[in-house]
Amino acid sequence: MKNALEFHHVSVLLNEVLESLALKKGSIIVDATLGGAGHSLEIAKKISPKGKLIGIDQDINAIETSRKKLQENTTDIEFVFSNTNFDNLKRILKDEKVDGILADLGVSSHQIDTPERGFSYMVNAPLDMRMGNNGEDKKTKTAFDVVNEYSEKRLEQIIRDYGEERYSKRIASAIVMARWDGAINTTSELAKICQDAVPGNYYKTGGHPAKRTFQAIRIEVNNELGVLERFLPQAIDALKPKGRLAVITFHSLEDRIVKQTFKHYTTECICPPKTPKCICGHIAQVRLVSKKPILPTNEEISKNPRAASAKLRVVERL
């Protein structure tokens, strides 16, 4: 078993993030998904001296490891760490305005590769998949609850929508049938159910038969899309004029939420198209830094295949 403090994660789109945030010495920056501090370490160097970095992560191991890494490798920086979900941004900042905010929505390599967290279909472990591991998060539902208590219809919807799995109906049915023999307790049991439910040639086009189902259940357990929807307006509101918000997504549903939210906040009027005169009073609050998402280079993808689906979108506060 890995030591809890061994926290390794390859930072995706690192150079693009540093450029997009328009970092300056003395800036106040929020890393809303601190992880292993890969982005934060380089951000801290750019805003030193007199800068301030606020790191947020619901995984206490990430906080402890990153605190040590940042304090050992940077000087003349004020650090603030908060062990909570990033949709609590307003509560964390109170009335403080910041120069930049980063949210990297990818699951950290550390969490995936730590067997007892239950994220991986490659290693046998209890069905957990909670990203947080503090006392409050331990009271929330787990993958075990989703797999063993959700109806077949709900499971199918989650696997179809969150996992974009074309065999969602077959997998959901197989899960429910397997429950007749007792609770499904481990990642290996669930992975085997997924594998047996899909055609034998699935590997040729879909990768591992359990990959999309595990992704879907993880998103459901952590309410990832709901958290993102609550976070984005808070982040925009927290920016100073010319402050920037950068968001890295890895899933089409995440990217759609970011794209639509940014569109809403960059639009002057949101009245129906045929309204003769604006009556909504809506005012644009940000501008797009780049009209199209910023994608990883082929070189980065070759070094880090997990970066292949990454998209970076950036807005600047008006």
Domain residue limits, the chain: 14-110+224-317, 133-221
pLDDT, residue 189, reads: 97
Strands (E), the chain: 28-31, 51-56, 77-82, 98-104, 239-249, 286-288, 311-317
Do 14-110+224-317 and 133-221 fold alike per CATH? no
pLDDT tens digits in sequence order for the chain, 318 residues long: 344 445 556 789 999 999 999 999 999 999 999 999 999 999 999 999 999 999 999 989 889 999 999 999 988 999 999 999 999 999 999 999 999 999 999 876 666 666 667 788 888 999 999 988 655 555 689 999 999 999 999 999 999 999 999 999 999 999 999 999 999 999 999 999 999 999 988 877 768 999 999 999 999 999 999 999 999 999 999 999 999 999 999 999 999 999 999 999 999 888 888 888 888 888 999 999 999 999 999 999 999 988 999 999 999 999
Residue 292: how many CB atoms within 10 A of its CB? 8
pLDDT, residue 61, reads: 87
CATH class entry, domain 133-221: mainly alpha
Nearest to 314 by CA among 256, 248, 268, 253: 248
Residue 200 has φ and ψ, to the nearest 5°, of -65, -25
Q: What CATH homologous superfamily does 14-110+224-317 map to?
A: Vaccinia Virus protein VP39 (3.40.50.150)
* Whole-angstrom distance, CA of residue 311 vs CA of residue 254: 10
The SS3 call for residue 54 is strand
